[in-house]
């Protein structure tokens, strides 16, 4: 594995929180480890970039969905020796990913190899001692945020309206931290059909400008995949909408 920059490590934590999966399934009586990222073909270059940076794993096409590529790391040795050392579970802020990596550390620390001895954890439980303030105090939070945006951020344009949104399920502290870090006026909306889906979005000129400023910050992690193309297209469309004509648009 080549030397990884703090920007990439922060980005990778954020992308894991948004789109990653660490599973422990049964292989006869033993535990089978696996990290997966499933992305559409239009984002395959992002998978190859991660594979090149980490220098492990394989990329394949899903048999059931031909338009989906999967980056898989299925070697327990590589996950233990190359992935877990660069992943700080205390820098993961979404519940499922935090508990997946917490479980991995328990397996290693206790040398558990049999599937029936695997501890059962509540993947929906709150992350211990996690607060909005602790998230914001993370020195690599900006880079984490860009990786998270790579997975979860949506841009939209409709007629003379435009904006952005970030959606989460059962991770309200993440959206609260993003809202405060960006200093936006947008409200966090809750889907009252189930009470677990939250969305942070805005179309205001000030909040759109703040999103541009965050994404285009120099000396920080940048959007790397198809999201970068979406962002640049969004910026181009913004420049053609009278409401947003005075924005300081920064392309990547």
Mean pLDDT of 174-191: 92
Using DSSP, state whether 138 is helix, strand or coil.
coil
Residue 237 near residue 212 (C-beta atoms within 8 A): no
Q: Tell me the pLDDT tens digit for each residue of 132-163.
A: 999 999 999 999 999 999 999 999 999 999 99
Show which of 105, 130, 155 is a domain's final residue. 130
pLDDT at position 5 is 92
Strands laid side by side in the 188-190 sheet: 153-158, 161-169, 197-202, 188-190
Overall number of domains in the chain: 2
- What is the spatial distance between Cα 201 and Cα 186, in angstroms, rounded to a whole number? 6
Show which of 114, 130, 146 is a domain's final residue. 130
pLDDT at position 65 is 83
Using DSSP, state whether 144 is helix, strand or coil.
helix
pLDDT at position 113 is 92
Q: Give the DSSP per-residue string, 85-111.
A: GG--GGG--SHHHHHHHHHHHHHHHTT
Using DSSP, state whether 77 is helix, strand or coil.
helix
The pLDDT > 70 percentage for the chain reads 98
- What is the spatial distance between Cα 133 and Cα 113, in angstroms, rounded to a whole number? 37
Show which of 130, 163, 198 is a domain's final residue. 130
Q: What residues does 148 pair with on adjacent strands? A: none
Name the band, by pLDDT with cuts 50, 70 and 90, for residue 63: confident
**Residue 195 confidence (pLDDT) above 70:** no
pLDDT at position 2 is 67
Q: Domain check: are 72 and 166 in the same one?
A: no
Q: Domain check: are 107 and 138 in the same one?
A: no
| Closest to 224 measured CA to CA, from 47, 4, 86, 40 | 47
Mean pLDDT of 16-34: 91
- What is the spatial distance between Cα 86 and Cα 152, in angstroms, rounded to a whole number? 22
> Which two structure tokens, joined as six digits, stand for 88?
């700080």
Q: Domain check: are 108 and 145 in the same one?
A: no
Q: Tell me the pLDDT tens digit for each residue of 66-122.
A: 889 999 999 888 998 899 999 987 889 999 999 999 999 899 889 999 999 999 899
Range of the domain at 216: 134-244
Q: Domain check: are 117 and 138 in the same one?
A: no
| Closest to 224 measured CA to CA, from 61, 10, 1 | 10
Q: Tell me the pLDDT tens digit for each residue of 33-52.
A: 999 999 999 999 999 999 99
Q: Domain check: are 67 and 158 in the same one?
A: no
* pTM of this structure: 0.93
**Residue 166 confidence (pLDDT) above 80:** yes
Mean pLDDT of 214-235: 93
pLDDT averaged over the chain? 92
**Residue 230 confidence (pLDDT) above 90:** yes
């Amino acid at each position: 594995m080549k030397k990884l920059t703090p920007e990439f490590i922060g980005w990778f934590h954020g992308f894991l929180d948004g789109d990653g999966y660490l599973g422990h399934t049964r292989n006869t009586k033993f535990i089978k480890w696996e990290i997966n990222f499933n992305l559409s073909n239009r984002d395959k270059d992002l998978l190859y970039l991660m594979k090149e940076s980490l220098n492990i794993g394989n990329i394949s096409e899903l048999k059931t969905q031909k338009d989906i590529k999967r980056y898989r790391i299925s070697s327990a040795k590589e996950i233990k020796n190359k992935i877990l050392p660069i992943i700080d579970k205390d820098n993961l802020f979404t519940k499922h990913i935090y508990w997946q990596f917490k479980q991995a550390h328990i397996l290693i620390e206790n040398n558990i190899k049999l599937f029936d001895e695997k501890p059962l954890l509540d993947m929906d439980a709150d992350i211990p001692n996690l607060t909005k303030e602790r998230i914001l105090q993370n020195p690599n939070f900006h880079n984490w945020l860009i990786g998270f945006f790579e997975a979860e951020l949506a841009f939209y344009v409709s007629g003379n309206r435009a904006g952005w949104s970030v959606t989460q399920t059962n991770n309200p502290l993440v959206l609260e931290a993003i809202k405060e870090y960006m200093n936006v006026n947008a409200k966090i909306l809750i889907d009252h059909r189930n009470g677990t889906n939250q969305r942070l979005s805005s179309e205001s000129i000030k909040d759109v400008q703040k999103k541009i400023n965050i994404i285009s910050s120099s000396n920080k992690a940048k959007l790397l995949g198809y999201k970068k193309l979406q962002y640049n297209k969004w910026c181009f469309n913004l420049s053609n909408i009278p409401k947003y004509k005075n924005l300081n648009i920064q392309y990547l």
